[in-house]
């Protein structure tokens, strides 16, 4: 036992670079497997990307065929939408309209962000629209009717959203009522609470204070200076590039496969082009709205939480296989409750953002159309309804699609009936794409 294990002689050491860190080195007296003694031939089916552009093209084709469409359909969809509306109305493709879309998409985008967490679990939260309306009412009653400190009212409002979401999550996770039913009940009940809070007047006008001031339509990053937008673009590009290169360095140092430098540069440039384009366009109008800045910052944080922390890993694993997660020691109820709490918090924040666009908390705050559009945004952006697949950025991409359509329809002077039909159609299309891509993923073994 005390003799150190020796590699089988006369054959290349199968353990290679492992050195002494080989846990499974056969101890003396045990025959090494014949298979292990021969250097394993390279399996021709291994996913090795060819060098150069050709390799990327092949990989891209393979992914599309495997149903890993990612954000491709959205980007194509966005371009098509912009083209159609630009042809219909010359005012559509203007900086002013871009500014309009950038500002009005934030509230719903926040609802969609919370929904992405829920969708990753493979569940749904139908209450986000009502919770957002209720949150605006709570804030209005506290800050306007009762003259509380505005920031304190904001904190209480967000906490209410968290508690409401957590409560729904608890009923779902601990009692076992299907999430669909719990949140459908919430959809009605929270709207009722909102109406009760708003009372007979029905509408409470807000004061431009605290978060409400930041969310209002005339609040721009660094006062709307040209420099402000470019500063944000620079931060985004440099941050993204730096994280890519840092990662590459760490991977190289550890000796695990890393992306070639050319690819990193290409990716950074690919991000920089739209980012600087948007900054330039918004600068031609009035600058970057502050609510958009807050929204983007939250997206960065959420993306980090989902992809780089154990918590995010738990969310994905529960969405992928509940039993596997349970056996791996993950507390499935805790993950579920916390995800619904996150969804509730984002709903409350989104509610504040929506209320700030009209400077009032009113009965329209819980418009059921908001719920539909938020769900549509998350799904259109590429987060699967079936759980386990998606990114928070889909909330941004999806809401851009939705808001681009809304702005176009608004310009064409189309009435609510047509708007509803089109939004419904877009949601259906997104769900169909999601289901189809899941089917191809299944048949190519990637579901």
Partner 1 sequence: MTNPLAGSYAPASADGEPVLALRGVSKRFGAVQALSDVELEVHPGEVVALVGDNGAGKSTVVKAIAGVHPIDDGQMEWEGRAVTVHRPQDSQHLGIATVYQDLALADNLDVVANLFLGREITTYGTLDEVAMEKRAQELLDTLSIRIPSVRIPVASLSGGQRQVVAIARSLIGDPKVVILDEPTAALGVEQTAQVLDLVERLRERGLGVILISHNMADVSAVADTVAVLRLGRNNGTFPMRGTTQETIIAAITGATDNAVTRRAARTPRSEGEV
Q: How far is the CB of 309 from partner 1 (least distance, A)?
A: 6
Provide the residue count of the chain.
447
Task: List Cβ<8 Å contacts ≥24 apart for 18-21.
Answer: none
Task: Please name every residue paired with 361 in a beta bridge, in sequence order, or none if there are none.
Answer: 204
Interface pattern 277-316 for partner 1 (x via CB under 8 A): ---------------------------x---xxx--x--x
The dihedrals phi and psi of 20, each to the nearest 5 degrees, come to -80, -5
Sequence-separated (6 or more) residues with CB below 8 Å from residue 67: 436, 437, 438, 439, 440, 441, 444, 446
As given in the structure block, the two tokens for residue 269 are 């440039």
Binding track, positions 179-198, relative to partner 1; x by CB under 8 A: --------------------
Interactions with partner 1, residue window 39-98 (CB under 8 A): 40, 43, 45-47
Beta-ladder partners of 205: 360
- Provide DSSP, 351-391: HHHHHHHHTEEEGGGG-HHHHHHHHHHHHHTT--TTSS---
- CB-based contacts of 395: which residues, under 8 Å, 6+ apart? 109, 112, 113, 115, 116, 299, 377, 378, 381, 383
> Which of the stretches 133-141, 151-159, 181-189, 439-447 binds partner 1 when contact is defined by CB under 8 A?
439-447
21 is a contact residue toward partner 1 (CB under 8 A): yes
3-state helix, strand, coil in the chain (%, to 5): 70, 0, 25
Minimum separation from the CB atom of position 327 to partner 1 (A): 5
Q: Which of the residues 354 through 383 are near partner 1 (CB under 8 A)?
A: none
Q: Which of 114, 196, 150, 168 is nearest to 370 (CA)?
A: 114
In the list 53, 175, 176, 329, the residue contacting partner 1 (rule: CB under 8 A) is 329
Per-residue contact track with partner 1, 235 to 264, x per CB under 8 A? ------------x--xx--xxx--------
We find the least distance from the C-beta atom of residue 375 to partner 1, in angstroms, to be: 20
Report phi then psi at 289, rounded to 5: -60, 145
Token pair in block for residue 35: 């298979």
Of 114-173, binders to partner 1 (CB under 8 A) are none
416 binding partner 1? (CB under 8 A): no
- Candidate list 276, 326, 334, 363; residue touching partner 1; CB under 8 A: 326
Is 327 one of the binding residues for partner 1 (CB under 8 A)?
Answer: yes
Q: Is 26 in the site for partner 1 (CB under 8 A)?
A: yes
Q: What is the binding site for partner 1 (CB under 8 A)?
A: 1-2, 14-16, 18, 21-27, 30, 32-36, 40, 43, 45-47, 247, 250-251, 254-256, 304, 308-310, 313, 316-317, 319-321, 323-330, 387-389, 441, 444-447
């Amino acid at each position: 036992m005390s003799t150190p294990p020796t590699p089988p002689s006369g054959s290349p050491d199968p353990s290679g670079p492992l050195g002494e860190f080989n846990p499974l080195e056969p101890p003396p007296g045990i025959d090494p497997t014949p298979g292990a003694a021969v250097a394993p031939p390279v399996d021709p089916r291994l996913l090795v990307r060819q060098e150069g552009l050709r390799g990327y093209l092949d990989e891209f084709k393979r992914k599309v065929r495997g149903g890993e469409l990612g954000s491709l359909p959205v980007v194509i969809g966005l371009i098509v939408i912009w083209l159609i509306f630009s042809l219909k109305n010359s005012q559509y493709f203007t900086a002013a309209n871009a500014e309009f879309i950038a500002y009005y998409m934030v509230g719903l985008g926040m609802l969609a962000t919370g929904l992405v967490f829920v969708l990753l679990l493979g569940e749904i939260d139908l209450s986000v629209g009502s919770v957002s309306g209720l949150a605006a009412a709570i804030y209005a009653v506290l800050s306007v009717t009762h003259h509380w400190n505005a920031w304190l009212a904001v904190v209480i409002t967000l906490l209410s959203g968290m508690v409401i979401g957590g409560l729904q999550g608890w009923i779902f996770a601990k009692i076992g009522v299907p999430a669909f039913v719990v949140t459908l009940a919430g959809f009605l009940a929270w709207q009722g609470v909102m109406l009760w809070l708003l009372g007979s007047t029905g509408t409470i006008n807000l004061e431009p204070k605290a978060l409400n001031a930041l969310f209002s339509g005339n609040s721009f990053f660094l006062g709307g200076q040209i420099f402000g937008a470019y500063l944000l673009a620079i931060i985004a590009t440099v941050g993204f590039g730096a994280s890519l290169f840092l990662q590459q360095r760490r991977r190289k140092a550890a000796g695990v496969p890393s992306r070639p430098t050319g690819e990193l540069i290409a990716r950074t440039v690919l991000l920089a082009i739209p980012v600087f384009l948007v900054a330039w366009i918004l600068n031609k109008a009035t600058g970057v709205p502050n609510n958009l800045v807050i929204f983007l910052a939250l997206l960065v944080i959420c993306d980090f939480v989902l992809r780089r922390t154990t918590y995010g890993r738990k969310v994905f694993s529960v969405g992928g296989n509940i039993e596997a997660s349970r056996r791996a020691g993950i507390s499935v109820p805790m993950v579920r409750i916390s995800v619904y709490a996150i969804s509730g918090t984002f709903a409350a924040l989104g509610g504040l953002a929506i209320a700030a666009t009209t400077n009032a908390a009113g009965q329209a705050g819980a418009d059921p159309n908001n719920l539909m559009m938020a769900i549509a945004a998350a799904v259109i952006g590429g987060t699967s309804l079936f759980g386990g697949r998606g990114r928070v950025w889909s909330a941004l991409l999806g809401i851009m699609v939705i808001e681009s359509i809304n702005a176009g329809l608004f310009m064409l002077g189309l009435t609510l009936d047509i708007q509803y039909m089109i939004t419904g159609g877009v949601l259906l299309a997104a769900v169909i794409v999601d289901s189809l891509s899941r089917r191809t993923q299944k048949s190519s073994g990637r579901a």
